[in-house]
């Protein structure tokens, strides 16, 4: 199961896992084969019940909205935590019992470099992604001897629709060109370039394939 798998990083992950022989279900709010709001506990439970057991769960559904901290109201704060952190918790809670009974499972949480460091104007998003990494590390220890691994993959700025929104915000607020805005964001990545969704997908596949079982509780930066 890949949540938020209809486009961008999620679509690349679904494609990569299918290439390796997995039977993939995409869960999404609107356009995916299985429509579900991952912030709704009942909707999540119903979606999983209709699909059956999940052996690999990729918690990719996420959202980023930027605002200065003093303009980050309680609704925005709760929205960022609900989509990015609560959704990860809710889907994991439903999928994990089967993995434990089967003695095998892979949970990969798509976090962000914002879960490892701070970035201006996205304090709520950073807080949520830090929470995802904390959840990853704690749960990984809890299930370490039970055949289940839990890891986080933390992309830097990636060439997706979410990045286009960030570029548009920079253009609107600063008057910079789109090219200048993209270059500004790319410069924040250690290699000075935007990440491709396929690169994130390759890391996810590695964690699921034979040989990846020794990797547990990690936050892997892409």
Enzyme catalytic residues: 125
Hey, is 171 helix, strand or coil?
Answer: helix
Residues 6 or more apart in contact with residue 113 via CB below 8 angstroms: 154, 155, 156, 189, 221
Q: Both tokens of residue 180?
A: 């200048």
- The crossing angle, in degrees rounded to 10, of helices 74-81 and 123-143 is 30
DSSP 91-114: HHHHHHHHHHHHT-EEEEEE--GG
Nearest-angstrom CA–CA distance, 102 and 26: 22
- Give the count of beta carbons closer than 10 Å to the beta carbon of residue 45: 15
User: Starting from the edge strand earliest in sequence, which strands make up the sheet with 56-59, in order?
Assistant: 34-35, 26-28, 2-3, 56-59, 105-110, 148-154, 219-221
The answer to whether 126 touches 114, Cβ cutoff 8 Å, is yes
Q: How far apart, in Å, are the Cα atoms of 4 and each of 12, 101, 176, 183, 216?
A: 11, 26, 30, 26, 23
């Amino acid at each position: 199961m890949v949540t938020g798998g209809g486009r961008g990083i999620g679509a690349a992950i679904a494609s990569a896992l299918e290439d390796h022989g997995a039977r993939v279900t995409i869960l999404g709010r609107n356009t995916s084969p299985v429509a579900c709001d991952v912030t709704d506990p009942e909707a999540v439970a119903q979606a999983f019940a209709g699909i059956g057991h999940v052996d690999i769960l990729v918690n990719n559904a996420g959202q980023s909205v930027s605002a200065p901290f003093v303009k980050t109201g309680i609704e925005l704060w709760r929205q960022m935590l609900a989509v990015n952190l609560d959704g990860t918790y809710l889907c994991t809670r439903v999928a994990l019992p089967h993995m434990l009974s089967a003695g095998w499972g892979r949970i990969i949480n798509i976090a962000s470099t914002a879960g490892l460091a701070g970035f201006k104007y996205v304090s709520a998003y950073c807080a949520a992604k830090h929470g995802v990494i904390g959840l990853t590390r704690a749960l990984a220890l809890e299930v370490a001897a039970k055949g289940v691994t839990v890891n986080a993959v933390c992309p830097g700025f990636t060439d997706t629709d979410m990045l286009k929104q960030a570029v548009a915000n920079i253009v609107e607020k600063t008057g910079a060109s789109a090219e200048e805005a993209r270059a500004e964001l790319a410069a924040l990545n250690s290699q000075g370039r935007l990440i491709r969704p396929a690169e994130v997908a390759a890391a996810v596949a590695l964690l699921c394939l034979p040989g990846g079982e020794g990797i547990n509780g990690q936050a892997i930066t892409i």
